């Protein structure tokens, strides 16, 4: 019996599509580099891991694993463009409400990946400082230990910064900053009229870093969900339909090119 070969395959359409996509990627990359203005700090809301898994008929944890692998890819793309700082929203305070099985699997994945990051030759080659922002007290001890390993191994680096938001909420971050300032006022180290925007920024988890120039969110949702509420006051936003594990280099380059096409006025 003669095998029935799909017409698209017979015509080589998938291969042709890949060739065209790669050519467009090269064109966009060249345009971006020629323009020269790339964001110093990019924030990414990693959304859609579970939806991706559901579409593939896989358990949620499989989507999270694919999402973790995708993050490594995206960080390489950021490195290629010279983006100095990246902050990713990996796990919010609300995510603790998910099923115990999913939360447990995610925490195990976090512990594994932080230990791997501490030994990753790319991290040390590019001098990437890894920081975790959020309420670490809510994390299991093995995750906290893995975080400490990664942070300690990269604490002396200043080439690039990777902030990973885990157990993070924007309102909780602001409340944490206010408490720290109130404690200083109570100790007599500050007066209320000395509290200003700069002081608040100095007490945020991201102290010492520039605010994000661009925030990308995947999966078609168009909201911040509490991500970097203070820091995003003048950020540009880019939303795309792809679930996070499906996020492509072409989509990433489109986000950067879109950012370059905007005129940033900062309220002026």
Residues recognised as catalytic: 47, 95
Distances (CA, A) of 254 to 20, 73, 112: 15, 16, 32
Residues 114 and 110: their CA atoms lie apart, in Å, by: 6
CA torsion through residues 110, 114, 116, 120, sign: positive
Return the H-helix or E-strand segment holding 251.
helix 249-260
Residue 145 neighbours by CB distance under 10 Å: 13
* 235 Cβ neighbours under 8 A, 6+ residues apart: 43, 211, 212, 213, 214, 215, 228
The encoded tokens of residue 121 equal 């030759």
User: What is the DSSP code (8-state) at residue 148?
Assistant: H
Task: Please name which of 206, 262, 253, 266 lies closest in space to residue 83, comparing C-alpha atoms.
Answer: 253
Q: Helix 13-35 vs helix 249-260: angle between axes, to the nearest 10 degrees?
A: 30
Q: Within a 10 A sphere around the Cβ of 223, how many other Cβ atoms?
A: 11
Beta strands (DSSP E) in 71-228 are 85-92, 128-133, 160-168, 214-217
Residue 259 tokens read as 């950012």
């Amino acid at each position: 019996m003669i095998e029935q070969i799909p017409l698209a395959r017979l015509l080589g359409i998938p291969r042709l599509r890949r060739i065209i996509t790669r050519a467009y990627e090269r064109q966009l990359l060249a345009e971006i580099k020629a323009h020269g203005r790339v964001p110093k700090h990019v924030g990414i809301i990693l959304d859609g891991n579970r939806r991706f898994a559901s579409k593939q008929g896989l358990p949620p944890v499989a989507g999270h694993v694919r999402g973790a692998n995708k993050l490594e890819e995206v960080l390489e793309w950021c490195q290629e463009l010279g983006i100095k700082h990246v902050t990713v929203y990996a796990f919010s305070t609300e995510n603790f409400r998910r099923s115990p099985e999913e939360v447990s699997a995610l925490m195990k994945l976090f512990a594994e990946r932080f230990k791997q990051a501490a030994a990753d030759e790319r991290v040390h080659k590019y001098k990437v400082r890894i920081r975790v922002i959020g309420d670490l007290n809510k994390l299991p001890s093995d995750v906290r230990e893995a975080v400490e390993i990664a942070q300690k191994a990269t604490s002396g680096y200043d080439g690039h910064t990777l902030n990973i938001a885990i157990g993070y909420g924007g309102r909780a971050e602001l409340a944490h900053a206010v408490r720290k300032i109130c404690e200083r006022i109570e100790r007599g180290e500050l007066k209320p009229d000395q509290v200003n925007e700069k002081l608040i920024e100095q007490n945020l988890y991201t102290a010492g870093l520039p605010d994000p120039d661009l925030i990308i969110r995947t999966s078609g949702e168009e909201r911040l969900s509490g991500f970097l509420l203070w820091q995003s006051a003048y950020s540009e936003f880019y939303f795309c339909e792809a679930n996070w594990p499906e996020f492509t280099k072409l989509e990433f380059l489109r986000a950067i090119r879109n950012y370059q096409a905007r005129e940033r006025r900062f309220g002026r």
